[in-house]
């Protein structure tokens, strides 16, 4: 493992983030990089944090739990970016800054009940299946307005925005309309629910610049940070 490689990768991603923000007339500090550490063991993750990563994302609750334990004491905030089963929510909530992919009203209500017992519950984003692929979780774009009142009635868990995954194998230019659509859906849900919904979690290694240009406030980047670091 090569510590310099992590520093180089992180600097390269940050530079591309800054340029994308400037192209869109946005303040680069309005975009948080979540470094996706799934499938990587604690050793390389420590090097990535030494290189300056502050926010780490995991897909699977159990993998998150074990890394929170094995990396205890590192100055990082954890994010769950994948599917959360209701029966894993109680243990997960106190560990994370944000749950990115709340994919049903049922789960949101479970989180709302649990959040009532927490001094500082994490924020959550609602996952929208903009691309309509069967393999993806989340609200269909047309279902969000219907649930606006139910979403707004969850007052313990802070619902701060929307999240999506662009279609697999799409180019950044193909992904861009999905990102723009998520922003429009957010604007619509904001009006319908009265929630501020400032956050948009969208963009991965392949397409994060397009996501930033379309308004992403959290990007979730894995392979661009770990590539070449084995050598
Ligand atoms: C794996 C994953 C990412 C990161 O993907 P890369 O292409 O490696 O940057 C982002 N979001 C989710 C939900 C993921 O599962």
CATH of the domain at 29: 3.20.20.10
CA of 149 to the centre of ligand 1 (A): 31
CA of 172 to the centre of ligand 1 (A): 14
Return the residue whose CA atom lies nearest to atom 12 of ligand 1.
Answer: 81
pLDDT at 231: 52
Q: Which atom of ligand 1 is nearest to the CA of 208?
A: 9
pLDDT at 167: 72
Identify the segments of the chain with pLDDT beneath 70: 1, 230-231
pLDDT tens, 73-108?
999 999 999 999 999 999 999 999 999 999 999 999
CA of 153 to the centre of ligand 1 (A): 31
**Does residue 62 sit within a domain?**
yes
CA of 77 to the centre of ligand 1 (A): 17
Q: Is 216 in the pocket of ligand 1 (CB under 6 A)?
A: no
Q: What percent of the chain has pLDDT over 70?
A: 99
Q: Is the pTM of this model over 0.85?
A: yes
Strand partners, 80: 58, 99
Owner of token pair 């998150």: 64
Burial class (CB within 10 angstroms; exposed 0-12, middle 13-18, buried 19+) of 55: middle
Count of domains observed in the chain? 1
pLDDT at 136: 74
Residue 61's contacts (CB-CB under 8 Å, 6 or more residues apart) are 80, 82, 84, 85, 88, 91, 92
Q: For residue 163, what are its two tokens?
A: 């999240």
Q: For residue 131, what are its two tokens?
A: 């691309």
**Does residue 179 sit within a domain?**
yes
**Does residue 171 sit within a domain?**
yes
Q: Which atom of ligand 1 is nearest to the CA of 205?
A: 9
Q: What is the radius of gyration, based on Cα positions, of the chain?
A: 17
pLDDT at 145: 93
Q: For residue 167, what are its two tokens?
A: 């279609």
Phi and psi, residue 190, nearest 5°: -60, -50
Q: For residue 17, what are its two tokens?
A: 């983030």
**Does residue 231 sit within a domain?**
no
**Does residue 170 sit within a domain?**
yes
Q: How far apart are CA 191 and CA 36, in angstroms?
A: 32
Q: Is 165 in the pocket of ligand 1 (CB under 6 A)?
A: yes
Q: Which atom of ligand 1 is nearest to the CA of 206?
A: 7
Q: How far apart are CA 176 and CA 172, in angstroms?
A: 6
Q: How far apart are CA 45 and CA 55, in angstroms?
A: 11
Q: Tell me which residue range forms the domain holding 195.
A: 3-226
pLDDT at 134: 72
Strand partners, 96: 78
For 76, other C-beta atoms within 10 Å of its C-beta total 19
DSSP 59: S
Q: Is 92 in the pocket of ligand 1 (CB under 6 A)?
A: no
Q: For residue 120, what are its two tokens?
A: 């500082």
Burial class (CB within 10 angstroms; exposed 0-12, middle 13-18, buried 19+) of 161: buried
CA of 9 to the centre of ligand 1 (A): 16
**Does residue 150 sit within a domain?**
yes
Q: Which atom of ligand 1 is nearest to the CA of 220?
A: 10
pLDDT at 132: 74
Q: How far apart are CA 156 and CA 118, in angstroms?
A: 9
For 47, other C-beta atoms within 10 Å of its C-beta total 20
Q: For residue 25, what are its two tokens?
A: 């007339």
**Does residue 115 sit within a domain?**
yes
Q: Is 186 in the pocket of ligand 1 (CB under 6 A)?
A: no
Q: Is 83 in the pocket of ligand 1 (CB under 6 A)?
A: no
CA of 221 to the centre of ligand 1 (A): 6
Q: For residue 171, what are its two tokens?
A: 């180019």
């Amino acid at each position: 493992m090569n510590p310099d490689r992590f520093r180089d990768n992180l600097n390269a991603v940050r530079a591309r983030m800054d340029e994308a923000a400037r192209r869109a007339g946005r303040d680069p500090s309005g975009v948080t990089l979540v470094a996706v550490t799934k499938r990587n063991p604690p050793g390389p993750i420590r090097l990535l944090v030494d290189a300056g990563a502050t926010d780490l994302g995991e897909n699977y609750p159990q993998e998150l739990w074990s890394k929170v334990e094995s990396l205890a004491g590192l100055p990082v905030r954890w994010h769950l970016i994948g599917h959360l089963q209701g029966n894993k929510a109680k243990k997960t909530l106190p560990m994370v800054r944000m749950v990115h992919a709340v994919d049903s009203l049922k789960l949101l209500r479970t989180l709302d009940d649990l959040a009532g017992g927490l001094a500082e519950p994490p924020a959550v984003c609602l996952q929208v299946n903009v691309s309509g692929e069967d393999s993806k979780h989340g609200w269909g774009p047309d279902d969000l307005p219907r649930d606006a009142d139910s979403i707004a009635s969850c007052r313990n868990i802070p619902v701060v925005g929307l999240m999506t995954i662009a279609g697999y194998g799409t180019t950044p230019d193909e992904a861009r309309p999905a990102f723009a659509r998520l922003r429009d859906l957010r604007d619509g849900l904001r009006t319908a629910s009265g929630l501020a919904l400032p956050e948009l979690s969208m963009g991965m290694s392949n397409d994060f610049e397009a996501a930033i240009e379309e308004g992403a406030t959290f990007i979730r980047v894995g392979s661009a940070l770990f590539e070449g670091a084995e050598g």
